[in-house]
């Protein structure tokens, strides 16, 4: 879905660029059926944002904007009982459904992700 931002490039992007990319991803998820691999790659944008915010707090404006985008994402997705990357990877990475909540959500739009755990490697 977003070939302009492969996972290896995320570290080079600024936080505002990541938030803008996340907004584009959420807009796409709201409107389109997303391929499983693309969806998981796109979730890494949100994960990079989370890691940056834990390392260094940001402005109220950025937090409010991110909260609005996340609310749209939650409305366009369904909560899943398991991590989309698989429970083994979640345990290995020490991800939790509370902190890395986005890995526990699948698109509402007829995506094949809805019915299964997908391992993106």
67 found inside a domain: yes
**What pLDDT is attached to residue 47?**
96
In terms of residue numbers, what domain contains 28? 7-109
pTM: 0.84
19 found inside a domain: yes
Residue where the block lists tokens 């890995």: 103
Instruction: Determine the 3-state secondary structure of 107 from DSSP.
Output: strand
76 found inside a domain: yes
Q: Which of 26-30, 34-38, 102-106, 108-112 has the lowest mean pLDDT?
A: 108-112
3-state percent breakdown (helix, strand, coil) of the chain, nearest 5: 60, 5, 35
**What pLDDT is attached to residue 41?**
92
If one counts the domains in the chain, the total is 1
36 found inside a domain: yes
1 found inside a domain: no
117 found inside a domain: no
119 found inside a domain: no
Task: Quick: pLDDT tens for 86-113.
Answer: 999 999 999 999 999 999 999 987 655 5
CA distances (Å), origin 10, targets 19, 24, 38, 51: 11, 15, 15, 11
23 found inside a domain: yes
Task: Quick: pLDDT tens for 51-98.
Answer: 999 999 899 999 999 999 999 999 999 999 999 999 999 999 999 999
């Amino acid at each position: 879905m977003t070939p302009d931002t492969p996972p290896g490039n995320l570290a080079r992007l600024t936080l505002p660029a990541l938030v803008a990319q996340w907004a584009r991803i959420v807009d796409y998820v709201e409107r389109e059926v997303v391929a499983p691999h693309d969806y998981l790659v796109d979730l890494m944008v949100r994960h990079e944002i989370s890691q940056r915010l834990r390392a260094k707090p940001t402005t109220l404006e950025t937090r409010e904007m991110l909260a609005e985008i996340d609310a749209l994402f939650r409305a366009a997705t369904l909560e899943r009982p398991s991590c989309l990357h698989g429970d083994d990877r979640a345990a290995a990475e020490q991800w939790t459904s509370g902190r890395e909540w986005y890995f526990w959500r699948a698109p509402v739009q007829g995506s094949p992700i809805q019915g299964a755990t997908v391992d993106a490697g």
